[in-house]
Structure 1
Amino acid sequence: MSYVVDTHAFIWYLIGKLPEEADSIFRSAEEGESTIYVPTIVLAECLYLVENKKIILILKNYSTN
Structure 2
Amino acid sequence: MSSPHNNDPLHGLTLEQLVVRLVDHYGWEVLAGKININCFKSDPSIKSSLKFLRRTPWARTQVEQLYLASFA
What TM-score, normalized to structure 2? 0.29
Per residue, is there more strand in 1 or in 2? 1
